[in-house]
Structure 1
Amino acid sequence: MSVLRAVRKLAVPSSRILAKHSPLISARARILTPFSAAMTAPRASFSASAHRFGEGTADGALSAKISEELTYEKEEEIVEEPESLKELKNAGIWAIEDVPGNDEITLKRKFGNEHIRLIFSIADLQSGDESLGNLEGEDSASEDATASYPLRCSLTITKPSVSGSLSIDAVCQEGQFVVENVSFYSDSKLATDLTAEADWKRRGLYVGPQFETLDLGLQEEFEKFLQERGINESLALFVPEYAQHKEQKEYVDWLSNVKTFIDA
C-alpha cells in the first residue's frame, strides 16, 4: 500500500475538465447517465427471454457514448512527450518510472552516497474537478490551476552504508515544494517499502514535528538541503505538467479498455 494512497489529490487543467467537467455535469458522469436513468425507471420483471450477459439492450448506447467521448478526448490527448520530460531525460539526473495503468509516478536519482526517490500520484481527480468548477472557459485560469492545485509527494533518502532513512512529506504547489514534515526511520525498508505490512508498521511511530513549527533557521537549512539534491523549482514545475500528461493518457486508455469489454 502506497504512503500516498490516503491523501493524494490532483486537479488536471485540461479542456476536458474545464469545458466538460463541471461539478454538476462531467464528461465521465455523462457516460453513466443512461445507467442512472435506468435505475430510476420502472423495473421489468425477469423472464426466460432476457438477454444473455454481454448482450444487454443498453450495451450499444453505452458503447456509442464511449466512442463519442474517445473521439473528443483523442483530439485533446497529448500525443508527444511534454517538453519538460524531454529536458528531464536529457539532463540525465532523474530517472522516471511510469508503469502504464498505475496511478503513481516515481522519480529516482543518486546524490553522492544517497539514493533519492520521489513519488507522486494522479489519483482521486473528482475533488480536483469540483475545485475547478468556477474556472470554466478560462485558459489562463487553467494554466494557473495546474501550478496552484496541491499535489502530494513522498520523498525518501537512503544511504546503503547507513541503517535508517529520511522520509519527507511535501506538497508540490505553485512551482515549489512545501515540506510538511520530516521523519526518520531507523529501518530504511520501513520508509521505502510500499506494502500493506510496511504501512501498518509505520502507524503509531513518531513522524517528527510539523515542519512549520520548527525554528525558522532550521527550516531554511532543510530547504537548502533539499534544493541541493534537486528538489527545486524546476522539478516542482515538471511534476504537475507530467501528471497532467499521464492522466490524459490513462483516461483515454481506460475509455478504450471499457469500450472493448462492452463490445466483446
Structure 2
Amino acid sequence: MGTTSRLLLRRSSRMLANRDGGLLRALRSELEHELSSNPPRSGPRDGKVGNFAVDWDDAKTQDLVLRRRFDSGEEIALSALLGPLIYEGKDPLPRHALMKVFVKKPEPEPILQFDCTVFHQDQEEDSEFVIENVKYLASADPSRSSRYRGPSFSCLDPDLQDAFKDYLVDRGVNAELTNFLLLHLRQKEQDQYLNWLHGLENFLKSGV
C-alpha cells in the first residue's frame, strides 16, 4: 500500500472514531447510570431457595429451574422467566414472572401442571401468585396424553380455586419463593443488559 493510501486510511479511521465517540460516551453514561442505580446482587449462597434446590440457572438464559423432592417420592419442578414488558402510558410497569409448577407422584405419570403469574401488587409488600391454568397430564408424552386438560381455571368454583393455591403453598410455593423469583429474574436480565452494554463499549473502543 502506498503512502497516500495509508494516509487516507488513517484519516478515514480517525473520522470514524470521532463519529463513534458520541455513541461511546452515551454508552458509558448509560453504564454508569445502570451500575449506580442497580447495584449487583448475589444469588442463593447454598444453591437453595427455601426447600427448593436450584437445578438450572445459566447466566446466558432468561429462565431458571428449581426442584424439590419429598421423602414420599413426590417431586416438584418449577420453572420461571420474566413476562413481556407492559406499559402504563409511556411508563413501563414492574415486570411480572411466568411460572410453571409440575407436581409428580412417585410413579412416572401422570403429572399435574400449574401455569401461574407472579407479581407485586405493591412494591412494599410481598409478591403474590395467581394460577391461570391447571392441567392434568395423564402422560408426559403429548401423543399419549388426553386432549382434554381441564376446564378454564377461572370457571372453577372459588373454593376449589383457593384449594388449588393452598395445595401449592403447602408444598413451598410461598412468598419467600416468589419474592426470590422476581428479584432474581429481574437482576438476571439486568446483568445481561450490562453485559450487552459492555460488549458494545469494547466494540467501539477498539476503533477509538
TM over 0.5: yes
The bucket for the TM-score relative to the shorter chain is: 0.7 to 0.9
Work out the percentage of aligned pairs sharing the same amino acid.
25
100, 110, 135: which one pairs with 1:154? 100
Q: Secondary structure at the match of 1:116?
A: strand
69, 74, 77: which one pairs with 1:114? 74
Q: Distance in 2 between matches of 1:245 and 1:57?
A: 34
Q: Distance in 2 between matches of 1:208 and 1:56?
A: 61
Structure 1, residues 95-117: CA drift from partner, whole Å, max 9, x if none?
22321121112222213322212
The 1:216–1:161 alpha-carbon spacing in structure 2 relative to 1, beyond 3 Å, is same
Structure 1, residues 166-196: CA drift from partner, whole Å, max 9, x if none?
1111111232221111112233255xxxxxx
1:79 matched residue in structure 2: 40
1:102 matched residue in structure 2: 61
How big is the alpha-carbon RMSD for the aligned residues of Structure 1 and Structure 2? 3.4
Amino acid at match of 1:161: E
Q: Deviation of residue 235 (structure 1)?
A: 1.9
Structure 1, residues 2-59: CA drift from partner, whole Å, max 9, x if none?
xxxxxxxxxxxxxxxxxxxxxxxxxxxxxxxxxxxxxxxxxxxxxxx8x69xx67643
Residue 231 of structure 1 pairs with residue 200 of structure 2: no
Work out which structure has the larger RCO, using CA pairs closer than 8 Å and 6 or more positions apart in sequence: 1
Q: Secondary structure at the match of 1:188?
A: coil
Residue 187 of structure 1 pairs with residue 162 of structure 2: no
1:89 matched residue in structure 2: 48
Q: Is the 8 A contact 1:166 1:184 kept in 2?
A: yes
Structure showing greater Rg: 2
TM-score (normalizing by structure 1): 0.59
TM-score (normalizing by structure 2): 0.72
Q: Distance in 1 between matches of 2:48 and 2:32?
A: 31
1:244 matched residue in structure 2: 186
The 1:224–1:123 alpha-carbon spacing in structure 2 relative to 1, beyond 3 Å, is closer
Q: Is the 8 A contact 2:118 2:129 kept in 1?
A: yes
The count of corresponding residues between Structure 1 and Structure 2 is 187
The 1:253–1:223 alpha-carbon spacing in structure 2 relative to 1, beyond 3 Å, is same
Q: Is the 8 A contact 2:49 2:177 kept in 1?
A: no
1:132-211 to 2 correspondences below 5 Å: 133=90, 146=94, 150-173=96-119, 174=121, 175-188=127-140, 190=142, 205-211=147-153
Q: Secondary structure at the match of 1:113?
A: coil
Q: Deviation of residue 226 (structure 1)?
A: 0.9
For structure 2, the residue ranges without an aligned partner over 5 or more in a row are 1-8, 122-126
Q: Is the 8 A contact 1:158 1:188 kept in 2?
A: no
Q: Is the 8 A contact 2:83 2:98 kept in 1?
A: no
